[in-house]
Every structure is written in structure tokens, then in C-alpha cells.
Amino acid sequence: MSGKAVVITSGKGGVGKTTTTANLGAALALQGCSVVLLDADIGLRNLDVVMGLENRIVYDLINVIDGTVEFRKALIKDKRVDGLYLLPAAQTKDKDAVSPEQMKKLIEDIKTEFDYVLIDCPAGIEQGFLNAIIGADEAVVVVTPEVSSVRDADRVVGLLDKKGEIPMDNISMLVNRIRMDMVRKKEMLDVSDIEELLQIRVLGVIPDDESVIVSTNKGEPVVLNGKNHLAQAYRDAAGRMLGQDIPFNERNHSFVGTVLRFFGLAE
């Protein structure tokens, strides 16, 4: 079996890469895939915190790379979802502790046993970024509807194509923290504006919602909370990753808008 390695990246920091990795991974596992979440942000790990698995870390990425343990032993199994595992980053070393060749080899190894490896990429475009993209077959670029984020995403797409040798067709974007009320008032970039500039496929559109902050602090990916409307947006994105044809509901209207339209009160 050979799975797929997908890097979650953005260039700009603070746009939601780690949250996206956690939720896409959990959503893929809910769909029956076996998934390893790999935290490539060495020295500043926090995927384990977002997943609520921090207190179960025994071995980390560096221990695997330097041969102390094999990767299976370092994996932490998520008890909430079948088939979901985390390989945490080291907190004590920095990004130069790993070489691109070592990273590539590790990802190849994991891919032989799992359906998906989701790589949480550090911010920036330096060594840590190069390590994170080297073994990836696909990339998801997280972008928020801000000019600076879109600019960085554009730069990253160019680099993924050139340095990571990831073909354009395998690069998609996830628009995070969109506020449809502001888009309608033309105060925020629309998905189509971002699409026009980046010219890559849209994997998902995630509305801005404070429940993400609550769930992040609790260490429970929001996608595990079935009733939340964000959970649906993440599940849809994961479904599209698996090749399912899922229409974009959240893209053009909010739930309230849909109800109003239904009664002819809005357009």
C-alpha cells in the first residue's frame, strides 16, 4: 500500500495551518482512512496541544530520525477516532536538526502503511518549509481573505511548484476564516478574488467562528463535534480530498441567508 503525503502550508503565520491539519486529519479518519499527522514545526510544536495529546508524548520526530525508535513506536493513537495517529515534533531542537533527505525517507516509510500523511508545515519559506514540502505529493495552501495572506500564498504556490516539484494540479487551497457578511458588503476579499489570483483549486471554505478557539484550547478538533457547522465545512473539504464531488454551501451563503432566501426575504 502506498498512501499520499499532503503538506498543509501557507507562508504566512497564524492563518490556521495547525488547526486545518488537525481537522482535515480527523475528518479523513472519520471517513475510514488511516491517517498520520506529522508535526514538522520542530522547536515550536503545537499540533499535539491542538489535538489534546501533549501529555502522551514519549518519543518525537527527532527520536525517529536519529534512529532511537522506529516511527511506529513514536506514533500516538488518538482514542476518539479510529485510524488517527500523531507523530509529534521535538520541542528542544530546531529546524536544522533534520535534513530534507531524512524527512523524505521517513514520509516514504509511513506512506507504506497509512492512507494519508498530513504534514503540518512551519510558517516561513526557510529550511523548515523545505523539509516539510520535500516528501509531499500534494499541498493544501491555507489562506485567509487578507491581501498579505494571499500574497504569501501566491509566493508559496510558486515555490511548491519549483522546489517541491509538486505539480500545479496537486496544489489546492483552503480559504479560512471567511466572513460572508463582510464579503457581501465588499469589505473582505471573496473566494473568487483569491481564486483569480492564485489559479488553483478550492478544497474548502471555512467560515470564521469562535468555536474554533474554544475547541483548540480544549484540545479537541472541532470536526469531532458533529453538530457544529464548521465541522461540516471540514468534512466537505476532506471529502473533496478523497475525490468526492461536494457542492460549496458555505461559499455563497450563510444558513440564515438560506432561510431568508427560502422565504423570499433576501437574494
Dihedrals phi, psi of 244, to nearest 5 degrees: -80, 150
The Cα–Cα gap between 103 and 106 comes to 5
What residues are paired with 119 via a beta bridge?
A: 7, 38
Cell readout for 176 is 479560512
Distance CA 149, CA 147 (A): 6
Which amino acid is it at 175? V
Q: Which stretch binds other proteins (CB under 8 A): 34-42, 59-67, 128-136, 162-170?
A: 162-170
CB of residue 20 to other proteins, shortest distance in Å: 21
- Asked if 217 interacts with other proteins (CB under 8 A), we say no
As given in the structure block, the three cell numbers for residue 76 are: 500516538
The rounded distance, in Å, linking the Cα atoms of 206 and 196 is: 18
Of 1, 55, 112, 169, which lies in the binding site for other proteins, with binding defined by CB under 8 A?
Answer: 169
Q: What strands lie across the sheet with 35-39, from one edge to the other?
A: 76-77, 84-87, 35-39, 116-120, 4-9, 138-143, 171-178, 201-207
Considering beta carbons, is residue 157 or 223 the nearer one to other proteins?
157
Q: Does 158 bind other proteins (CB under 8 A)?
A: yes
The three grid cell numbers given for residue 185, joined into one nine-digit string: 458588503
- Distance between CA atoms of 141 and 6, rounded to whole angstroms? 10
196 lies in the site for other proteins, by CB under 8 A: yes
Q: Does 161 bind other proteins (CB under 8 A)?
A: yes
Interface mask (CB under 8 A) for other proteins, residues 136-155, using x and -? ---------------xx-xx
Minimum distance from residue 171 beta carbon to other proteins (Å): 9
Q: Which is nearer to other proteins, 154 or 236 (CB)?
A: 154
Q: Which among 46-54, 85-93, 189-197, 219-227 is the span making contact with other proteins, rule CB under 8 A? A: 189-197
Closest to other proteins by CB, 78 vs 154, is 154
CB of 165 to other proteins, least distance (A): 11
Q: At what angle do helices 147-162 and 127-134 cross, to 10 degrees?
A: 60
Question: Side chain identity at 128, as an amino acid letter?
Answer: G
Does 130 contact other proteins by CB under 8 A? Answer: no
Decide whether 14 or 158 has the Cβ nearer to other proteins: 158
Based on the shown chain and the rule CB under 8 A, indicate whether residue 80 belongs to the binding site for other proteins.
Answer: no
Options 199, 211, 217, 244; binder of other proteins; rule CB under 8 A: 199
Nearest CB to other proteins, comparing residues 192 and 244: 192
User: Of 137, 77, 72, 74, which Cα lies nearest the Cα of 104?
Assistant: 137
For other proteins, the binding residues (CB under 8 A) are 151-152, 154-155, 157-159, 161, 167-169, 192, 196-197, 199-200
